[in-house]
Amino acid sequence: MKLLIIALFVGAVIALGSIAPTFGSAQLEATLEDATGSSLTKMTYQRTIWIDYSDGGNLANILTGKNVTVIFSVDSSASGMKELIQKINSSIASNDSDAYVSDMSLDYVALMTGRDDKMSIDYKIVLHPVIENFVIRDYTGASPALLDVDWRGFGASGPVEIYAPNHGVLEINLPISLFDKYTPEIAMQLKSSDAGELLTKSIMNADGIRDQPIGNWHFLFDPTGIGVDAAQYGFQTGSVISKYTMGESSLREGIQIERTNEAMFTIDRAYSIKTFEASDNASLDVVGFATRDSGFFGVTPTAPEGYATTSSEEFPAMVLYGMAGMAALGGVGIMLMSQRKLKKEGKNLQQTGIDPSQLTGVKTSASSGGYQTVRGEAQVKGLEDYDQHQNFYDDKSQVEEKSETKSTSTKGSMPKGWKPEK
């Protein structure tokens, strides 16, 4: 019984308490509206690489103190952006989606930081694409609109060369390219080793978002369309908004953990290189009440009649009731375990000390300043008289009495300043 209670409680905690995701290798944020066919989309790709030379060697001499910063932003008119859009549209088409990117801007950040014991290289690519043709069917009143979301895991494979102001033409999608440009003295050794495979994996990859079924995403429904939130997207206050999110760690979606890979390469000695990527995560906001299917949303302007919401109109009532029920179940489990533990321990406990029935009261301090006090104390019956245990201050021999010293002078005392008359 105890094991069953513990299992239920732990299961509830795992199912309800999820691990907050960090920004991972791919993070999608999008807001879709079927009435206009417009989308506000942002896709962020990130990766971190560490090269360890803490044991010294020639690599420490090459990389310690070497710092490189590459930051730029471009729009679709920049050289190479047209080719990147084509790669992304090919990725979307491979996922059986008719949606496509019509325009896009790009932000790029790469940092190489050479410390005393290791070098870290951080990559971040942010795309702001305009997604079109994701509305499969318009809303007619008799049937909901259908929105295609199979485009959600888009990316680009292979080299992507972009002309960057102040930097010239840069390849941004393969991590090894940064080494080719800024540390050519070690790039060849990296390519020819096991590390070469890690450093040629495309940064713009969102397969984790593509492969997570929409049916596993979490759903929140806001019927109020909070004024501030709605206004920033250009929507009317009061619009119904459905939010679908993925990336939480749970029994249903699986435990989301940081992905790490390690390889070795040799220059004058063996060195290690590691790549780090957190779990993918995504958030899709749909204007309207959206129900999900395998690869699309069915959207209506309002929620079905009688759809349960809380008084704050943020979460479905069933969700809150379920959470409260699981919390209560956990509380009951803890109480039962505590009660059983107390009963088990109580069998081995015995009273120690003096039985109160064997005590008797005795008055103390027979007098104080000429009057009787009511102070008393307890002693065990049958023991010696109280006189043998009296208070320290009742022993008058312990009290020091101040006595005045009698003067032996035969002369009297005169007022101060007195003099005999002449």
Q: 31 and 285 in contact (C-beta within 8 Å)?
A: yes
Asked if residue 217 and residue 138 are part of one domain, the reply reads yes
Number of Cβ atoms within 10 Å of the Cβ of 127: 23
374 and 261 in a single domain? The answer is no
Q: Does residue 89 sit in the same domain as residue 158?
A: yes
Same domain, 299 and 374: no
In a domain, 39, yes or no: yes
Distance CA 266, CA 194 (A): 10
* 248 domain-assigned: yes
Query: Which pLDDT belongs to residue 330?
Result: 83
Instruction: Answer yes or no: do 272 and 370 share one domain.
Output: no
| pLDDT at site 418 | 63
Do 205 and 82 fall within a single domain? yes
What pLDDT is attached to residue 141? 83
> Looking at this protein, which amino acid is placed at residue 15?
A
The predicted structure's pLDDT at residue 10: 44
Query: In terms of domains, do 177 and 288 share one?
Result: yes
Q: Assess whether 374 and 289 both reside in one domain.
A: no
- Tell me which amino acid residue 290 is: A
Note the Cα 188 to chain centre separation in Å. Answer: 39
Report yes or no: 337 and 6 within 8 Å, Cβ to Cβ: yes
Query: Of 307, 342, 369, at which residue does a domain stop?
Result: 307
240 & 365 share domain: no
Q: How many CB atoms lie within 10 A of CB 390?
A: 14
Q: Is residue 400 part of a domain?
A: no
Which token pair is 325? 């029920």
pLDDT in tens, the chain (422 residues): 444 444 444 444 444 333 333 334 899 999 999 888 888 899 999 999 999 999 999 999 999 999 999 999 999 999 999 999 999 999 999 999 999 999 999 999 999 999 999 999 999 999 999 999 999 999 998 899 999 999 999 999 999 999 998 899 999 999 999 999 999 999 999 999 989 999 999 999 999 899 888 888 888 887 655 455 555 555 555 568 899 998 766 665 656 667 889 999 999 999 999 999 888 889 999 999 999 887 789 999 887 776 644 434 444 555 656 777 788 888 888 888 888 877 776 666 665 667 777 777 766 655 545 555 556 676 666 655 555 555 555 555 554 555 555 555 555 556 666 666 65
Q: State residue 340's pLDDT score.
A: 80
Measuring CA to CA, which residue among 159, 146, 168, 299 is closest to residue 221? 299
Q: Which domain holds residue 375?
A: 359-388
The number of angstroms, rounded, from the C-alpha of 69 to the middle of its chain's C-alpha atoms is 28
In this structure, is residue 328 part of a structural domain? no
Whether 38 is in a domain gets the answer yes
Would you state the pLDDT for residue 61? 93
Q: How many domains does the chain have?
A: 2
First to last CA, the chain: 116
Domain membership of residue 402 (yes or no) is no
Please check whether residue 224 lies inside any domain of the structure: yes
Collect all residues with Cβ–Cβ distance below 8 Å to 147 and sequence separation of at least 6: 32, 34, 134, 135, 136, 286, 290, 296, 297, 299
- Rounded CA-CA distance 157/177 in Å is 14
Identity of the amino acid at 307: Y
Alpha helices by DSSP H, listed for 207-308, are 207-211, 227-232
Cβ atoms < 10 Å from Cβ of 352: 5
The answer to whether residues 380 and 240 belong to one domain is: no
Phi, psi of 260 (to 5 degrees): -125, 145
Tokens of 53: 């030379």
Q: What are phi and psi of 58, to 5 degrees?
A: -65, -30
Q: Which of 156, 166, 62 is nearest to 101 (CA)?
A: 156
Is there a contact between 162 and 81 (Cβ–Cβ < 8 Å)? Answer: yes
In a domain, 246, yes or no: yes
Q: Are residues 205 and 56 in the same domain?
A: yes
Structure tokens at 189: 């050794």
